[in-house]
Every structure is written in C-alpha cells, then in structure tokens.
Amino acid sequence: MHINVVVLRKGVSVNMRGATLLNMMTPSITELRSFPFLCRKVSNNPHQHGSQNGTQTSPETKDQLVENEPTEEEQRRPKKKPSECSVLLFPGQGSQFVGMGRGLLKYRNVKDMFAVAQKILGYDLLSLCLDGPEEELMKTVHCQPAVFVTSLAAVERLNHENPAAIENCVAAAGFSVGEFAALVFSGAMDFAEALYVVKVRAEAMQKASELIPSGMLSVMGRPQAKYKHACLQAREHCLSLGIKEPVCSVANYLFPDGRVIAGHKEALDFLQQNSRKLHFLRARPLPVSGAFHTALMESATEPLRDVLRQVEVRRPEINVYSNVDAKRYMHEGHVRRQLAKQLVSPVKWEQTLHEVFERTQGQSFPHTYEVGPGKQLGATLQKCNMKAYKSYTHVDVTTHDD
C-alpha cells in the first residue's frame, strides 16, 4: 500500500452525521466534509474506522484492539532512512501575531480555507490575522482558530515548495491547540469539523478563564529549582489568604529547566515575588487570559467532550503524539479522550520531542518543519536536541518567494 498526499475532492460521498451540530452554519455538513484540503490519506485502509454509511464502532470495541501491533500493510511498506523522512510541528496559542498568513495567500486552497473559516466562525478571520486589531487577535476565542488555520495554510506552502516533505512525513505533533492541526494533517479529522471543535474549545476555555482570576507564568530555573515544590508553597500561600482549593501546577514542560506554571493569580504573584529564593532565573507572566492545562479548566472539558462525540474522528495515518503523555494516538476513541483530558493536563512537549527524536547513536535525524506562526517550537527543539535541530526549518507565514 502506498501513502499518497491527496486533495479531497468536492462532491465525494459523505454521510450527514453531525448535521445537528453544524446546522447553524451557512455550509451544510456535506459541503464542510468535502472541502478540498491537503491531507494524508491511505486508500483502502483496513483500519478505516466506521462503516460506509458513516456509523462507527464503539470506543469500547476500539479499546480491544492490539494497539501496538502493526498492520499487514505497515509491515509490507518499505522503510525509509530517517534522513529521507520528515516531521511536522504545529504551534499553539501565543505564537499568533498581526500579519500572519500574508505570505500564504497565493498558495492553493488557502483563500478557500479562510473563506470556510469565516462561515464557521461568523467573522472575518483572514482580516483579523492580516490587520488585527492586535487586542482582538490575542483573545483566546480568536487566536486559537487563527493559529489553527494559519498553520494548515503553511502546510499548503510547504507542499508547494517541497512536496517530498509532505509525502515523506512520518510523524506530527502539535502544541496544545496545534494538536488539532496535526490531527487534520494526519487525516484523523476533517478541516471544517476540526475548526468547529477548536471554536467550541476556545469559547469554553475563555468562559472558564473568566470564573477565577488566574494566569500563566513562563519560568526558567537553575538546575536546583524544584518546580512542584514551588507550586506547593504557592498553594499554601493561597490557603493562608483564605483561598479554597487553590490551583498552582506545571502547565507546560518546554525544555530542560523551562516550564510554564499556571494557577490562581495570587499563587503566580507569590512565585514572582520569591523567584530568587526558588532558584528561578526568570518568571514572566504570559499574555493569556487563564490557567490553561490545569484543574481550573475543568468546566471547559464537558463542552469539548460533547462536540468531539459529534464529529468524525479516524485513526491517524501517520504517528501523531498526544500532549497528555507524549505517546502516539492509536484509534479514534483514544483521540477523543486525550483531547478532552489535555485541557486539564500539562502539555508534555519536552517529553514529546524526546519520544519523536530519540534514536541510537549514529542514526540520522529526519527533516523537521515548524508549520505555523512563530519559531517557538524550533527554540524548544534546539534546547532539547541540538542534533535534531540541525535539520529544522521554519515555514514562513508572512512572506513568500516569487
């Protein structure tokens, strides 16, 4: 069996499951699922989940699969040298900036992607990306869809300039909301449905953020820094102030001695005021509205679970790694569970990079492409694995080569 990069054709036969979910949008579910978007797709995949009429087997049935057993086709597929393969990394919230996407509009499908996004979101996402205003783009409800669409638009540029990087891609990972873009690229979700899920997710996270004053703190520590103990001290400080059930925990594992800590505002204030004593070299507040990837996002999980039940999810056609445990997704039930759990779990990005790039001494590394705004993921790769970073390329989203 040969893995091809294909553009989904308009007019393909699709089922109407999920029409209730999306009936408020201008396009029908049929139009959304047949939207032409670059993705990886395996023809005649024996592990394609769901029947021809669109019904799916239960998650319980999927859990009975032998998760790590390769398919017969996977066993027959010729293995390529790592240096001939590629890995795609998709950024998350915080990478957005006014002007992103300007260099992508000439590439196939990109304008159509933003047009469909406008119908799903109800506002002009392209105009917001290109011209701002910045304070609107920075809002959680706007920046998550913006980063999602811009990242997948960057894939279109990469496919135009270096189609072999798409054809030979063996793995993908995304940071927080970037995980949805990675799943779309892998063929596990459709573009339009995934964007709607991102919309629901962003709105639920924004609403959860407004319940309690909270935030996130970027921390770089000395080798002797004890991050979990620092969080414990911060929670004890909150208790002394009369705050019940205070939250303060590591929300992102970025690289060795690089963390993001999130929680109650009072806890983060304590960490900043005591940063020297806690052996922090830097403790900088992030421009986000809440304590993402902590227990303070619990109220956002149910809306996300609900919408994930209503959209089609398939097994990824390449390895896609979960933020929750840095392990690859095995089936659609696994994807649904982990995406909901991700909201209240730390992003294990450092662990994911180790999982993707770990290899024996002397073995070559794949080409790595960061597709989307910013170069933050490249910076984390540089700190985690310098040898892998030597084969890193950022796909620019602001300029293009004529």
Catalytic choice (142, 293, 367, 394)? 293
Catalytic choice (95, 176, 249, 345)? 176
Helix (H) or strand (E) holding 7: strand 4-7
The C-alpha angle 50, 55, 61, rounded to 5 degrees, equals 60
- Give φ, ψ of 328 to 5 degrees: -80, 150
51 has catalytic annotation = no
Take residue 120 and report the two structure tokens written for it: 């799903």
Alpha-carbon distances, residue 49 vs 71, 182, 327, 363 (angstroms) = 14, 19, 20, 35
Contact (Cβ atoms closer than 8 angstroms) between residue 247 and residue 267: yes
Q: Tell me the helix, strand and coil percentages in the chain, rounded to 5.
A: 45, 15, 40
Take residue 340 and report the two structure tokens written for it: 């909901």
Helices (H), 29-132: 29-33, 59-63, 72-76, 110-121, 125-131
Beta-carbon neighbour count of residue 277 at 10 Å?
9
CA–CA distance, 244 with 193 (Å, rounded to integer): 38
Helices (H), 122-217: 125-131, 134-137, 140-161, 163-167, 178-185, 191-209
Who contacts 402 (Cβ-Cβ below 8 Å, separation ≥6)?
Answer: none
CA–CA distance, 71 with 84 (Å, rounded to integer): 22
Contact (Cβ atoms closer than 8 angstroms) between residue 217 and residue 283: yes
CA–CA distance, 157 with 49 (Å, rounded to integer): 30
CA–CA distance, 169 with 334 (Å, rounded to integer): 22
Contact (Cβ atoms closer than 8 angstroms) between residue 16 and residue 30: yes
Take residue 318 and report the two structure tokens written for it: 């390449």
Take residue 191 and report the two structure tokens written for it: 């573009």
Take residue 198 and report the two structure tokens written for it: 């991102």
- Give φ, ψ of 293 to 5 degrees: 65, 35
293 has catalytic annotation = yes
Pairing of β 214-221 and β 38-41: unpaired
Task: Catalogue the active-site residues.
Answer: 176, 293
